[in-house]
Structure 1
């Protein structure tokens, strides 16, 4: 997985699919950088959150399990390991299961996994191991995804399967399906709209570019400056109970 958001942090970062080479960028909403709210008892993201490369949740493909099209992004993944990873870090993970979030009418799979370098990784082989060894973690994950947009004035998110987690085999099938859609995307067999498929590695892709061209894209981006301090309201807590 590619880590977009380290655990316990609030800045909503993700792979920018419309930009050349798909860098990780922070979301902007109404001209302001976007942060997820702290909905008690959750502080920021409760796992290392990121995406699986070479996957695409195709909006034109109606998922047979959920009845909705994909969200037009790489498939999301939550690493439940103990290490707090760095933004942009690439780690190997063991897939354990998945949750089917329905986000504003789109299928948004959330893969549950653990860093293979975690000291306890050998004890986790399927979703029931998470339920057994990390009590309430799966329930907290559902709670987080259900309520994280409520402070922004949006309704609770919904789930397929009554918010039931599916097992490892099911999750791997979902990943394979989204990988097939990605392969069709980068070989121009599917229309990705504004998605930028420029890459340096997929030989059969018409979007492949040379290393010096890729370097030119990178050099054209603004240099990193000093980090700005977080807005004061990022540490605000929200307390929510459905009436």
Structure 2
């Protein structure tokens, strides 16, 4: 009998055959979560990172693109965008939030998503890009192909979450968004993170 085997969601699954146009996403948290989960880098299992401190609820499915890593190549794109205080990537897989009209009850699953843009977020001198994507086949969001096509309120809702989820109300902002970029730059970020992954872990 062949023993059961679970591929590591970061290292054991590809970014997708058609990446960066369509990417695999490992979903860690969903909008109904009051706990922040993240993948344990050693085992590949979801673990509790921390309870959400405040009323901030992530407005989209949130996870990462497998076999990506944010280091020098991702940092260079941030510098090219005018972020003079950036010294490195955040040394994590590339973050991605996926818009969908469907109520998915929990993370720990894979889906295909179409990148449409992103946020050049700078967090304590680290490039911490957030790719924005739509779930393949989603009836409400699946037709969008660039972040500029989204309602402005949807973009601002995402931005507000990322700019405030780490802060107490009376604290100064810990991070900023250097720019909001469209689909073509999102693809550059994905490719850069794939190169950073290859440089760190091998092809």
Which of the five TM-score ranges fits, normalised by the shorter chain? 0.7 to 0.9
2:34 aligns with 10
Indicate the structure with greater strand content: 2
- Separation in 1, partners of 2:154, 2:174: 18
Range 118-127 or range 45-54, more displaced: 118-127
Listed as ranges, the gaps of 5+ residues in structure 1 are: 28-33, 188-203, 205-243
2:4 aligns with none
Listed as ranges, the gaps of 5+ residues in structure 2 are: 1-24
TM-score using structure 2 length:
0.76
Deviation at 1:60, TM superposition (A): 8.9
- Separation in 2, partners of 1:183, 1:177: 10
Deviation at 1:8, TM superposition (A): 2.5
Q: Which has more radius of gyration?
A: 1
SS of residue matched to 2:173: coil
User: What aligned pairs does 1:1-243 form with structure 2 within 5 A after superposition?
Assistant: 1-17=25-41, 19-20=42-43, 22-27=44-49, 34-39=50-55, 42=56, 44-58=57-71, 62-63=75-76, 64=79, 65=81, 66-67=83-84, 68=86, 69-85=88-104, 86-131=106-151, 135-151=152-168, 154-161=171-178, 164-187=179-202
- Separation in 1, partners of 2:154, 2:72: 30
- Alignment deviations for residues 54-73 of structure 1 (CA, whole Å, 9 cap, x no partner): 10012697433334211110
SS of residue matched to 1:56: coil
Deviation at 1:7, TM superposition (A): 1.5
- Separation in 2, partners of 1:126, 1:60: 23
- Alignment deviations for residues 181-229 of structure 1 (CA, whole Å, 9 cap, x no partner): 1112222xxxxxxxxxxxxxxxx6xxxxxxxxxxxxxxxxxxxxxxxxx
- Separation in 1, partners of 2:73, 2:188: 19
- Alignment deviations for residues 10-47 of structure 1 (CA, whole Å, 9 cap, x no partner): 21111222x14x322111xxxxxx122344xx4x2111
What's the Cα RMSD here? 2.2
TM-score using structure 1 length:
0.64
Is the CA contact (8 Å cut-off) linking 2:28 and 2:107 kept in structure 1?
yes
Q: How many residues get paired?
A: 172
